[in-house]
Amino acid sequence: MHDDVVGIVLAGGRSSRLTGLDLGAGGKAAFVIGGEPCLRRVCRAVAAVVPRVIVVAAADQPLPLLPDGVEIIRDTIPHAGPLAGIRDGLAHGMSRVPPPRWAFVASCDVPLLMPALVRLLVNTARASAARFVVPLVAGHPQVLAAALACDLAPSIAALAAAGRGPRAVLDDLVARQPDAVRFVTPEEMMAIDPELDSFLDLDTPADLVRLESRGIPPSWP
């Protein structure tokens, strides 16, 4: 593994759209899919590729048991949204010398995330001049399963302070520096993830049905 990349997994969020499901204080991070909490599954997938994984959680959020070596930090501002979580994760990740060049960012609610998909995005970032490598699924940019340059930290902090979300980072780059964005097409990803299951997230009860219909693998090759 290269030490030029850090993983940031966002565990916070109030899961307000998952009405009718008893998630408890742990939220989606602790929701069990295929016998394993979502957050642990995502951390395990990222850790298979990235040597250092940072989980950003809410201040009072209980977390499930996580793989050895995963670092846990807490939101500096409660309920400030995912971009603030990315900001905090980057600040923590870049406190080491030398700081990483890249960050792979994921939400905790993509339990079928494949290490091969993480590797594809990280390697694409390394091989290109882009600063934000973003998968496209059904025409939608997946900004919470993407690789970004750590030198975007000041821009991310400014946008987070303005109350913006992760999509604002993409929109800002497209407007100012379009060559800094590398979209990864479905065709590129389907060679390793034919059904693009890595992007099946858990936002609504219907999503849970979709996830369960796929069959949940206990591990990855």
pLDDT (tens digit, 0 to 9) for every residue of the chain, 221 residues total?
678 999 999 997 655 555 555 556 678 888 888 888 999 999 999 999 999 999 999 998 999 999 999 999 999 998 899 999 999 999 999 998 899 999 999 999 999 999 999 999 999 999 998 999 999 999 999 999 999 999 999 999 999 999 999 999 999 999 999 999 999 999 999 999 999 999 998 877 777 777 777 766 544 43
Q: Is residue 220 part of a domain?
A: no
Q: Is residue 221 part of a domain?
A: no
Quote the number of domains for the chain. 1
Q: Is residue 165 part of a domain?
A: yes
Residue 56 near residue 8, CB atoms below 8 Å: yes
pLDDT at 208: 74
Instruction: State the Cα–Cα distance between residues 139 and 8, nearest whole angstrom.
Output: 24
Q: Is residue 29 part of a domain?
A: yes
Q: Which residues contact 183 (CB under 8 A, 6 or more apart)?
A: 134, 135, 136, 141
Residue 163: is it exposed, middle or buried by C-beta count within 10 angstroms (0-12/13-18/19+)? exposed
Q: How many helices (H) and strands (E) does the chain have?
A: 7, 10
Instruction: State the Cα–Cα distance between residues 8 and 43, nearest whole angstrom.
Output: 9
Q: Is residue 114 part of a domain?
A: yes
Give me 48's structure tokens.
Answer: 């298979």
CA distances from 7 to 43, 55, 204 (A): 8, 8, 26
Q: What is the CATH number of the domain that holds 182?
A: 3.90.550.10
pLDDT at 68: 93
Q: Is residue 75 part of a domain?
A: yes
Q: Is residue 219 part of a domain?
A: no
The SS3 assignment for 102 reads strand
**Residue type at 155?**
S
Q: Is residue 23 part of a domain?
A: yes
Give me the domain span that covers residue 11. 5-214
